[in-house]
Structure 1
Amino acid sequence: MTHLPASLLTSPIAHRALHDSARQRPENSRAAIRAAIAAGYGIEIDIQPSADGVPMVFHDYDLARLTNQNGPFRQRSAHDLSQIGLKGCDETIPTLPEILALVAGRVPLLIEVKDQDGALGPSVGPLERAVALALEPYDGPVALMSFNPHSVAALAAAAPQRPRGLTTCSFDAAHWSLVPRATRARLRDIPDYDRTGACFISHQADDLTRPRVAELKAQGAAILCWTIRTPQQDAAARRIADNITFEGYEPAAIHA
């Protein structure tokens, strides 16, 4: 089993980088990433594929919320996506190789591969292989994760040397309406941790008291959590979690 880089346990992790729309730093943008590096924070980013299979740094499945265009993200080529401006700044959508070159190992990276099956099922693989290929020359601290355990298994096959984990939560129906009820019920108990060779979970902060989280921690799993938005939430989460993913404020100090 691989191990999570120590820096991902000591540097608070900026959710979608250190984004702040008032300061022209949209989420997952180069500006937000530069700001996180300057502050010494770890960085969490999201990966979606272009139509031609290039891993792009972008959260949503649709373009509308974050750009002035709309429509499915994955129906556009990498060239077209790289020309689309992000709202609130003069930047465009970056590729994963661009962001890896920008970070250059200066702070740890936590990379979430977004589900491409649509229902957290087995129709995955190409994006995971593309991410692994982009990471081949990268020697900075990095870890990979996904809500979809099939994706984490695909990452294990494509990049066995890279630390990987499961993004986990309560899988409530309101937020996961496209996922079958039986699948949601199964995933709540995090049954795929051992099968995927995971070394950590990144769990929903207000569900950290779930018994399975304590069980995994007792077995040696690193426990990260998302998304912390106040110092008070930070203090509460750290009673259980080893580190936090945060947004909307800046933790006053790097926690040891």
Structure 2
Amino acid sequence: MESLTALRQGSGFLEARVLAQLLLALFQTEVWVEGKERVPQGPLLVVSNHRSFLDAPVLITGLERPIRFACHYYLSQVPLLREVAFALGCIPLQQGSGPQLAFFRQAQATLAAGGGVGIFPEGAEQITRETSPQELGRFQPGFAHLALAAGVDPLPILPVAVWAQHEWRGMDIPMAFFRWFDPTEPRFQQAGGHPVVIYRQVVVRVGSPLWVEGARRYTCRQERLQVIQELTAAAREQVRLGLVER
């Protein structure tokens, strides 16, 4: 049974990786990776900055690991985008800002099976407005909550910076288009458009894993919140350093 599960996971990853590579070839995106030797084997929680719809394909290709990324609710509703997201193995978030119980269940199951989960802690903040390649938004702590609740011991959180050296801006998509699919997202209520950022040359900089071990899970609420804040700050700092020009 375990070998069958591994075979299915491997097959799914190959399909996702082939699609990721095809998307990068379609948009003529070149990817370089720094620090690939830091990518652990086994269960893995990847956190990264997020400015383009190409971030997931870039990371799946660059890290060479099966990674199921959390994706915004509207991606699971828009035709074509939905099929691409599911083929990449993405796990859609639920509509609205309530508890993401379905995502957490799928993410925990993926980690327990030895796979990788990817989260963009900035949420929709950076991808829905014009930003520079080195700009980094606030990190939401959801990934740290997941790490402590995952039941995988030890679990590495891997901070990764996606730094675009050269990119192209397509025509913005009106926010009203996305509002039609997800009327609960506050950012889709804004005027203007959703930027379309297409990477031409991008560097993936892998940080040092932040290991979450069993002793950190069984603390009182105050200590647990402190650990979550520390993990969130440490992951963001590593991503920030990865976006610094060298």
- Superposed pair shares fold, TM > 0.5: no
TM-score, normalization by structure 1 = 0.31
RCO higher in structure (CA 8 A, sep ≥6): 2
More helix by share: 2
